[in-house]
Amino acid sequence: MHVGIVGFFRGDVLKFERVAIEAIGFTLPPEVVTSANIETSLGPVYERLKLPEGRLALMSGIEERRFWKPGTAIGAPSVESARNALEATNLEPNDIGCLIHASVCRDYLEPATACRVHAELGLGNDCWVYDLSNACLGILSGMVQIATMIELGAIRAGIVVGTESGRNLVESTIAALNADESLTRKSIKPSFASLTIGSGSCGILLCDRELSQTGNRLEACVARAECEHHKLCQSDTDQAGASMQPLMQTDSEQLLHAGVGVGVRNFEQLLAEGYERADWDRTVCHQVGSTHRNLMLESLDMPPTQDVSTFRWLGNTGSVALPTALAMGLLSEQIQPGQKAALLGIGSGINSVMMATHWERPSVVGKLDENAKKNLNLESATPSTVN
């Protein structure tokens, strides 16, 4: 083992000495759907309830989101994102000791979607392979598990990856709302959050610092669970596959305030490990929407000018939202070499995972279309793949 367990794990914090965040791979869905498009599809409801046009974007700060082509299997973009992350490094497939697929969405109840990713990447037979589910914290939770295995010397490198698909949830919600003649302005509110959901895919490769070519560090992470709030956001029963037609009910107002409260208390735990607010050059929050972001940063006493956000053009993409925002922040140089970034994760339940990261030579690979370049102010960037 590289470190003593007592020094590595103390109370609510994990402190890492051996873990590098070596590369991030992402895949953006091709279809852009605006909030105006969704409101057009909800025309009968908007007309009957006399809802003003532009309400969805005004309330959420989300102007558009992306969808995969109909029928896209969850594993396909996950393979691409994981491959992007792996190919950005000098590591070989056999170097990967753990592969975790950690999105809410998956292809089947069994086998694990991670099995397809493992097979198509040609990873070794001695690799730990499994799915992990923790709502919007799935990718961060997978990072913690892989980092822990690296720190304790069990593996040298690992990949956590996930793909979220919002099309079926949004389309099912639209159909249900249009068919419900009993809807009122009050009863429609629990369905509002479902209309902000988008799609995306992201993978993160972590490795032992002895293997690292970048020097990017995962320094510490803290977790907090206040699960008395588990009923505030619930989806349908357990389903999987491209044909699922889910619905979700969310008490957005209570979830907002409860989630921010959990986040504030978790952030205080991170600060208690010797960090100061001034230490952070950047923050990356979970990408829910403008109201959540503004209240969270205000409650943490952190400046919004230092925060990286993508929800305006990618929507809420669940477990891949924060990791993708991190990738976009690195690509657009909002997070620069030598800077520290606090990753502020919150997931329904309510759970929170927050991480202290340090960036020396960011390595991010994925294809950017013209819409993405415009939103990142990278219109002059000519390569379709940025590393």
Cα 125–chain centre separation: 28
Out of 136, 221, 233, 285, the active site residue is 136
In angstroms, the first-to-last Cα distance of the chain is 33
221 a catalytic residue = no
Q: Is 267 within 8 Å of 354 (Cβ atoms)?
A: yes
Residue 147's alpha-carbon distances to 97, 274, 326, 368, in angstroms, are 11, 20, 18, 29
Write out the H or E segment, with its range, that includes residue 103.
none
How many CB atoms within 10 Å of residue 358? 17
SS3 25: strand
The phi and psi torsions of 2 (rounded to 5 degrees) equal -80, -35
Spatial distance between the Cα atoms of 242 and 235, rounded to a whole number of angstroms: 16
Out of 110, 253, 298, 360, the active site residue is 110
Token output for 18: 């051996």
Longest dimension (CA), the chain: 65
185: nearest Cα among 13, 281, 50, 95: 50
SS3 197: strand
Token output for 307: 């925060």
H helical segments located in the chain:
5-8, 35-41, 43-49, 55-60, 75-87, 113-121, 138-151, 167-179, 252-271, 290-300, 311-314, 321-331, 370-375
Spatial distance between the Cα atoms of 134 and 104, rounded to a whole number of angstroms: 7
113: nearest Cα among 96, 128, 140, 131: 131
273 a catalytic residue = no
Spatial distance between the Cα atoms of 299 and 121, rounded to a whole number of angstroms: 43
Helix axes 321-331, 138-151, angle to 10 degrees: 80
Q: Is 98 within 8 Å of 158 (Cβ atoms)?
A: yes
Spatial distance between the Cα atoms of 252 and 302, rounded to a whole number of angstroms: 23
Active site residues: 110, 136
